Structure 1
Amino acid sequence: MNSVNDAHGFRSVGADAREFRTVGAVARLADVSVRTLHHYDAVGLVVPSGRTGAGYRTYSDDDVERLFAVLAYRELGFPLDEIRTLLDDPAADALTHLRRQRDALADRIDHLQAMATAVDTLIEERTMGQQPTPEQLREIWGDDWTGEKYEDEARERWGETEAWAQSRERTARFTTDDWTTIKAETEALEADCAAAMAAGVRPGEPAANALAERHRLSIDRFYDCDHAMQVCVSGMYVADERFRAHYDARAEGLAQWLVEVIAANAAEHGG
């Protein structure tokens, strides 16, 4: 029988044979190295179903599906031995694995969201010229991040967010005069916002939009802050009681007013 390889690395043998992907094609498809595929084969994790006449590995659609299941579990931090046990469970089908992975991802998302909120909170604290006490830091980080509990894992899996890296890089260059200026500008911005709210300025009006832009730029000097990011940050002003208390101490209702002003301005900019 004649065999052919197409441009995608598929190999078919005879009219009734199913198509198989070569190891190179699968490596490109899954964005892994050929060496990784060879290792997975050697440890019995993803064993290719076919071989060419010359003895080269070929992968069926089921093999590729198993590979992606392995990669998903690896991304979630499962060790290879545990992944093999899970995938070889005769009582678990592909849908079972997908549901299990979805649950694990939901837990990861919740954890990352808690981390992101904590980082945003600390950035906002520094923006307002405040230095949290150790007790406040513990409260901000909460139970999802205590000391070095997740530090090594976070560095290995996710690294640092671009915003946090930018903030650390930029603030490292700030002088005492810079911090004094930032504190004065922040004070002036909050005073102007309180005055605008007292004067009846409504979200979406030009004066309100101008204040929203000043607010966005006050964050942008720490890290790149587009309108969508600004909306996310402002959510803390009502979700976090400390921020709400800070703004409402200047003018009752200022936290909510500022959130609405930022949202209206962002909507005009497509944020």
Structure 2
Amino acid sequence: MSMKVKEVAELVGISVRTLHHYDDIGLLTPEQTTESGYRLYSDENLETLQQILFFRELGFPLNQIREIIHSPGFNRNEALEMHRSLLLEKRRRLDQMIATIDKTMKHAKGEIQMTNKEKFEGFDFSSNPYEQEARERWGNDAVDRSKAKLGSMSKEEQGQLGTEMNEIYQRLAALRHVSPESEEAQAAIHEWYVFLNRMGSYSLEAFAGLGRMYVDDERFTKNIDKFGEGLAQFMCDTMAVYAEKNKS
């Protein structure tokens, strides 16, 4: 039984725009497009979409997913086994981080004592699920410099870095209803630009491009908007203004 694009979007919980984008880039082509332009999806299309979303959950970029699922050697059952294995590992890490949070709350109340090592159990900055995507957008050199910088830090320094990042997000979230061109918005986004360049080397163009990714990629939007609904769009707009204003 064929389903229209809106029906698929409602079933899966993704946007119609995302499905259109998947079609445009050759990732998920509907079984049929009517003379009126309606996209119709088959059961086989839905199975492919499930595979795509499993890969997305694990941080694979779209172009890599397209190469994998359209490869002559692609095996759906093997892929499902891989998904299961990787998701179990992800769950293990999340369980460990939740345990660290629980211990930290008890430590804050004076119920237990935590060692510095225990405070950072579960954190793992050795790999970045967006690394390949970043390499494709901005080149290997910037990413390698960022990884080298991060790799040279201790666990405590990495934890402090995460705290600083969250604080910047919180300050930006508090300003997300003001104009992106306002003085306070531009001052706050300048902090973000400086923060990112402590880890790598982002040109103004790359900075604006990163902002666009915050709204183009639903993974980024979802994570950023945890600090406040609409924050990803606000950061995108504010970063674009910052890049334009600071061009030499």
Larger of the two Rg values belongs to structure: 1
TM-score of the superposed pair, with normalisation by structure 1: 0.45
TM-score of the superposed pair, with normalisation by structure 2: 0.49
